[in-house]
A and B are shown apart, each in its own frame.
Chain A
Amino acid sequence: MTATSPVDRARSRPVVTVLAAHWESKTEEGWITRQVAGALACVADVHVITPEGTPAGTASDSVFTVHHLGTPVDLSSELRRDLLVEGISEANPARDVPMSVELSALLDRDLIEPWQGASEVLADLLPDRVVIVGHQNVGALAAVDRHHGDLPVTLVALGSNADSLAFPHFDRVFDRADSILAVTESERLSIVEHHGRPEAVHRIGAPLAANSSALSEPNTWVGDTDYILVLTGVASIDEDEEETDLSRLIKFTFPDRPVGIAHTDGFFAWHEGRVNSGWPIERSSDMARLMAWARVTIDLRPGRLFARRCVDSLLYGTPVVVAHDSRAREHAQRGRGGLWFANPAELTWCVEALLEPSAHDAFSTQGQSYAEDEYGSTDRFIERVTGACGLATVATPVAVTA
């Protein structure tokens, strides 16, 4: 079987097929997948193949043609694989995990079959390039290789977990890809450390922009300005969660300063020992206005792939305080847009330091500049993605609705 046919030589644009186990925008992984596909749509006809959706069929979604295989990947199978990787990596810190046939079969159980139908779709589309989403997506790789063993492959690594990036079972996905896309520098370095080929691993960032309307009027839930915004990612009744303890620490340590604490079940504005409670933040515009007018944003559970909320905060010129072992640390350290803490005491020192005008202003300016350079331009994002995939850029970007 060949990758091109006489009919395809007449194509005006190349055809790119994106193979994603999940096609949604709710998670950071899902959102960046859609953005990468959108960037490719500027220079190519993008078809998405996903096992999701029942019954099987083809549908249009914005600028994409989505081919639903109707054989969804079982979430429990993915969870089992992730737990196995986590457990085995924990037991083998030296990363010399012996891979047996039995272990491989256990890791891949119920994750290869959902992709059986993808080879037929690929045979119909005859793409010039495929994009495999997720370095664990061995099922998609198998489908591509069944169709055409030499088809150019780009991998969107989605390396949220360092153990998984280094796990030898997924080496074949990295080895097969001629270009690998990483969102952040720490993800890129982690991939290069374990798989080499620095020339093939590209940092693409993400297309984010500050919503200018958020700066026109403050959100008065906490106070007009200069409050501390704490994003917990847990419910307020989750007493056992560390985030609950840390948010409590902040509100008690800074009683004279308004503190807005966002839980999943409500928003709590503390000031001088009093609390105003409200509904949880659901609209992104509310979150944007809260970030835009805050003195400092503390993200206690940032996104695992690229900590999008922290980049958003930096785009509004609000410095961030994050955990030292989170992906968000890159924005604070490399972007010089904030500080990071290793224990509760450091958390309070960091916040206190950023409330000082001189430090706040310096980190605000530096962080905003970093966020705009690396994440603030859709055009640059498109150039990075298309360049990494070896596709020429055309002038007009296509709007991608999430």
Chain B
Amino acid sequence: MGKPPLDPEEFLERLRAERQVLRWEPLAPDQVRTNKENEQIRNRTSLEYLHGHWALPDSFDPADAGGGPRGRIVTLFGRLTYRVLGPYFRKERDLLAHLVRVNEGLERRCDELTFRCQQLNQDMVDRQVAEARNQAKLAVWLHLDPPAAAAPNGRRTSKTGTGDTATTR
């Protein structure tokens, strides 16, 4: 009667059970967090409002006063007010214009910084991925039983990775 057949499935299970005593794996890299787009849209809407409304009127519109004697009095009073306060309104309009330009510049700068932050984050994740891959290779080596260490005399033998290049034929 011959030897019973060796079942590779059982053989592998036994092998796994014997070998997988130490199990170490590198951490998985973090996910890249994407920016909240709705926040940027809200900022953009406010900025567009500023662009549309920063220019205040520089004279009184008689249509706003209405008709009749009362209207004429209001128009007269309005023109007088604008004539007296005109230099102040012009300065205020210049101020608002500058404020809008500054806000526009800040918005642009914020976008640049956000982009750079995202890029930096991506660079860090890429680096983490590379390190995790490298550590995964290390993990494989750690799981192995180095033959040099398992030599009967207990001494580790050093080997060179490259050698001569004599041809086989």
Quick check: is B33 within 8 A (CB to CB) of the other chain?
no
A31 interfacial contact with B, CB 8 Å: no
Closest CB of chain A to B137's CB: distance in Å?
Answer: 8
Whether A238 is near chain B, meaning CB under 8 Å from some CB there, is no
- With A255-B148, A272-B159, A273-B160: A249-B9 Cβ-Cβ less than 8 Å: no
- How far apart are A31's CB and chain B's nearest CB, in angstroms? 27
Mask: chain A, 362-375; 1 = CB below 8 Å from B; 0 = not:
11001000000000
Q: Which of A75-83, A193-201, A338-346 contacts B (4 or more CB under 8 A)?
A: A338-346
**For the complex, is B144 an interface residue (Cβ under 8 Å from A)?**
yes
- B163 proximal to A (CB < 8 A): yes
The one of A255, A273, A336, A343 that contacts B8, using a Cβ cutoff of 8 Å: A336
For window 339-360 of A, CB contacts with B under 8 Å fall at 339-340, 343-346, 348-350, 353, 359
Minimal beta-carbon separation of A339 from chain B (angstroms): 6
A149 within 8 A of B: no
Partner of A333 from B8, B16, B160, B168 at Cβ < 8 Å:
B8
The verdict on A348 contacting B8 (CB below 8 Å), with A273-B159, A353-B15 known, is no
Q: Assess whether B169 is interfacial by the CB under 8 Å rule.
A: yes
Q: Does A254 contact B (CB under 8 A)?
A: yes
Contacts of B7 in A (CB 8 A): 336
Q: Which residue of B lies closest to A222 (CB)?
A: B168
Contacts of A346 in B (CB 8 A): 12, 15-16
A217 at the interface (CB under 8 A from B): no
Contacts of A256 in B (CB 8 A): 147
Chain B residues contacting A344 (CB-CB under 8 Å) are 140
List, in ascending order, chain A residues with CB within 8 A of B165's CB. 275-277
Q: Give A332's nearest chain B residue, CB to CB.
A: B8
Q: Which residues of B contact A339 (CB under 8 A)?
A: 8, 11-12, 15
Interface status of A274 (Cβ within 8 A of chain B): yes
B interface residues, how many (CB within 8 angstroms): 29
CB distance from B168 to the nearest CB of A (A): 3
Which residues of chain A have C-beta atoms less than 8 A from B169's C-beta? 221, 278-279
Residues of B within 8 A of A254 (CB): 147
Whole-angstrom CA separation of A255 from B163 in the bound complex: 12
Q: Given A249-B140, A362-B6, do A276 and B168 touch, yes or no (CB 8 Å)?
A: yes
How many angstroms between the C-alpha atoms of A110 and B168 in the bound complex? Answer: 47
* CB of B3 closer than 8 Å to a CB of A: yes
Name the residue on B nearest A221 (C-beta).
B168
Cα(A348)–Cα(B15), bound, Å: 11
Question: Does B166 interact with chain A (Cβ within 8 Å)?
Answer: yes
How distant is the Cα of A348 from the Cα of B19 in the complex, in angstroms? 11
Q: Out of A273, A333, A343, A359, which one reaches B9, CB within 8 Å? A: A333
Chain B residues within an 8 Å CB radius of A221: 168-169
Chain A positions 255 through 284: 1 when the CB is less than 8 Å from some CB of chain B, otherwise 0: 110000000000101001111111100000
Asked whether any CB of chain A lies closer than 8 Å to the CB of B162, the reply is yes
- What 0/1 readout, one digit per residue, does chain B (154-168) give for beta carbons within 8 Å of chain A? 000001111111111
* Contact residues of A between 140 and 179, Cβ < 8 Å to B: none
Q: Counting CB contacts under 8 A, is A253 at the interface?
A: yes
A279 / chain B contacts, CB cutoff of 8 Å: 168-169
For the complex, is B5 an interface residue (Cβ under 8 Å from A)? yes
A274–B163 CB distance below 8 A: yes
A336 CA to B144 CA, complexed, in Å: 25
CA distance A234 to B142 in the complex (A): 27
Chain A CB within 8 A of B116 CB: no
Shortest CB-to-CB span from A51 to chain B, Å, is 41
Residue of B whose beta carbon sits closest to that of A319: B8
Partner of B11, one of A249, A253, A269, A353: A353
- The answer to whether B51 has its CB under 8 Å from any CB of chain A is no
Distance between Cα atoms of A270 and B15 in the complex (Å) = 26
Q: What separation, in Å, do the CA atoms of A175 and B81 have in the docked complex?
A: 93
Bound complex: CA A256 to CA B146 (Å): 11
Nearest chain B CB to A30 CB, angstrom units: 29
* A340 in contact with B140 given A273-B159, A277-B165 (CB within 8 Å): no
18 pairs, CB–CB < 8 Å, chain A vs chain B: A245-B137, A255-B148, A256-B147, A272-B159, A273-B159, A274-B160, A275-B163, A275-B164, A276-B164, A279-B168, A336-B7, A338-B8, A339-B11, A344-B140, A345-B19, A345-B143, A350-B12, A363-B6
The 9 closest A-B pairs by CB, nearest first: A274-B163, A278-B168, A273-B159, A362-B6, A221-B168, A273-B160, A345-B143, A344-B140, A255-B159
Residues of B near any A CB (own CB < 8 A): 3, 5-9, 11-12, 15-16, 19, 137, 140, 143-144, 146-148, 159-169
Other 13 A-B pairs with CB < 8 A, given A273-B159, A332-B8: A220-B168, A221-B169, A245-B137, A255-B147, A272-B159, A273-B161, A275-B165, A276-B168, A277-B165, A339-B12, A350-B15, A362-B3, A362-B5
